[in-house]
Amino acid sequence: MQRAFKNYGDVVRIAPNELVFITPKAYTDIYTSSINGRPGFVKSDMLDTGDKYEGLASERDIDKHRAARKQLAPAFSPRSLKQYESIIHADVDEFVEVLKNSPATGAGVDIAPWFERATCDLGGSITLGHNFKNIQSGQNHPILESLLRIGHWATFRNVMRRFPLLYPLSYVFLPPKVAFSYFRAHSTSKKLIRTRVEERHDRKDLDYMTQFLKNEEALPPDGFLVSQAGHLILDHYESSSVLTAGMCFLTTNDEVMKKLQSELRTTFKSYEDITEDKLQDLPWLNATIEEVIRLHTNVPYGLPRISPGHIVDGNYVAKGVVVSSCAYATTHSEKYFSKPYEFKPQRWLPKDHAEYDHAFDGDDRAAFRPFSAGSRNCLGQAMAYLVLRIMFAKLCWKFQWELLNKNEMDWDRDLRLYIVWQKPKVHVRITPFERKVIKVPVKLGPNATTPYTEMDTDDDDEGGDLAIMATAPCDIRRGGFNQKICALNNKT
């Protein structure tokens, strides 16, 4: 699509009845337009599952979608997110502990499957109050296994959907292993939902299903809950691609990794001190996450909508024509972002930040909408940022990272999309970081006493960084001990 836009302009016809746009204005027109208080462009059938009950992401009926979204919305309120934080920390801490005792510290591991298991576990914990134990067991839970297996066939089915007479044949080509995996996952989900419903009075911890089980007189059918849970777990699983991409980008950009780790290790004296309240205010962490999401577009394909007969960026689109916007093409276009294929988190730093690069003043941030827009925008975007901040912060604080297959792997070249991302191997080795604290005397002035201040040494594979956590301003004396310490600190 990127090449097509370069060759043909801002609107490209990809099928007899389907148009794709690249401009931010077109995005606004398609996804936020309303007619008489209802969405003007209705969702197409691309994500239909064929089940009796559709999940929140695939439900096309406006009223059903609105009702389900209204029920689920309290699960993503600031108050609820605060309650989820302890669950996220517990699951991430478990992941870090297992990773610390894994081959990742020796010969190294492909980190992509580890992130898939960790995010699926977290999705189970927050959706159903049930951790799937993928990380603990080192094996894929049936639900995760189904997600990994079904992508190729689901992509084939979507292609066949464009040929109505041939579409039924897509099920003839469903591989037996994929079918078995899907039905086993569906059966497992039904059992988990039934257990969750039966235990609804005994549960004290908050999870997503809590919102659907509040009304005792109108409990939804199990099939409805299975569909909602499936989509919510998938949403958490999809953050594994962002995490894998992030570690790939950071391990190939040493300067950014050092700035991020310095910010984290200066802000938090210990791993246990890491909290969301402080993470929200860290410029390099948040800029890094934004840049990872921009460079690795998690939903790169269009989200097709059916035109009601409306204007899109100055172009009249007839009723019934399918329209969409290609997020990948937009975020990788030089029209909207300077150096679009380069990993440059500094473009997202506040403009008054000392390390903000004015080369990015011309970036059009309106072209960056990773969580869609309008009445069908991602309800869980605040949750996504919460998870990514905690995960990146703890992993980058706790470990030094080294990419072992840097010369063999190319992220953009090797990445494949079959409904969900098929990620290349990102073979990493990690070294646990331990903060060593010693005390040294520091002169405060000619008439002041000489207290001790903590000096932290951040040992890494390059011989160790040195950072001073001063308890008071120090007076650097020419030729004195303080000068030597500060000089060493500046050197690193």
**What is the DSSP code string of 395-444?**
HHHHEEEEETTTTT--HHHH-EEESEEEPPP-EEEEEE--EEEEEEE---
Is residue 242 in a domain?
Answer: yes
Residues 6+ apart with CB under 8 A from 211: 71, 72, 73, 74, 75
- Using CA atoms, how far residue 465 sits from 33, 133, 172, 392, 436, in Å, is 53, 36, 60, 21, 11
Domain boundary (433, 464, 482) is at: 433
375 and 479 co-located in one domain: no
**What is the DSSP code (8-state) at residue 467?**
E
Identify whether 256 is part of a domain.
yes
Answer yes or no: are the C-beta atoms of 453 and 440 closer than 8 Å: yes
Q: Quick check: is 321 in a domain?
A: no
Task: Judge if 375 and 485 occupy the same domain.
Answer: no
Nearest to 436 by CA among 462, 463, 461, 467: 467
Instruction: Report pLDDT for 438.
Output: 64
Same domain, 377 and 445: no
Binding-site annotation, residues: 378
Buried residues in 58-95 as b, exposed as e (16+ CB within 10 A): bbeeeeebeebeebbeebbeeebbeebeebbbebbbbb
Task: Judge whether 233 and 123 are in contact, CB under 8 Å.
Answer: yes
400: left (phi over 0), alpha (psi -120 to 50) or beta: beta
Domain co-membership, 381 together with 470: no
Q: How much is the pLDDT for 432? A: 96
In terms of domains, do 248 and 263 share one? yes
Q: Do the beta carbons of residue 298 and residue 107 sit within 8 Å?
A: no
The C-alpha atoms of residue 144 and residue 113 are separated, in whole angstroms, by 10
Residues with Cβ within 8 Å of residue 196, at least 6 apart in sequence: 128, 129, 130, 203, 209, 213, 225
Number of folded domains in the chain? 2
Helix H or strand E segment including 244? helix 222-251
Are residues 51 and 120 both part of a single domain?
A: yes
- List the domain range (segments joined by +) for residue 486: 438-491
Same domain? 293 vs 442: no
Question: Which residues are known binding-site members for heme?
Answer: 378
Q: In what order do the strands lie in the sheet with 399-403?
A: 109-110, 427-432, 399-403
- End position of a domain, from candidates 385, 415, 433: 433
In a domain, 24, yes or no: no
Residue 5 lies in a domain: no
- What is the DSSP-derived secondary structure letter of residue 476? P
Any domain includes 389: yes
Residue 380 lies in a domain: yes
| Predicted local confidence at residue 465, as pLDDT | 46
Specify the pLDDT at position 471.
Answer: 42
Q: Which residues contact 384 (CB under 8 A, 6 or more apart)?
A: 235, 239, 371, 378
Looking up residue 136, the CATH number of its domain turns out to be 1.10.630.10
Between the CA atoms of 271, 275, 276 and 277, what dihedral angle is there, to the nearest 10 degrees? -140
Considering the domain architecture, whether residues 378 and 486 belong to the same structural domain is answered as: no
> What is the C-alpha to C-alpha distance for residues 443 and 446, in angstroms, rounded to an integer?
8
Same domain, yes or no: 181 and 107: yes
The residues of the chain scoring below 70 in pLDDT are 437-492
Predicted confidence at residue 480, as pLDDT, reads: 40
Residue 464 in domain = yes
Q: Which of 384, 400, 433 is the last residue of a domain?
A: 433
User: Looking at the structure, do residues 425 and 443 belong to the same domain, yes or no?
Assistant: no
- My answer on whether 421 and 445 are in the same domain is no
Question: Are residues 390 and 483 part of one domain?
Answer: no
Q: How many angstroms separate the first and last alpha carbons of the chain?
A: 44
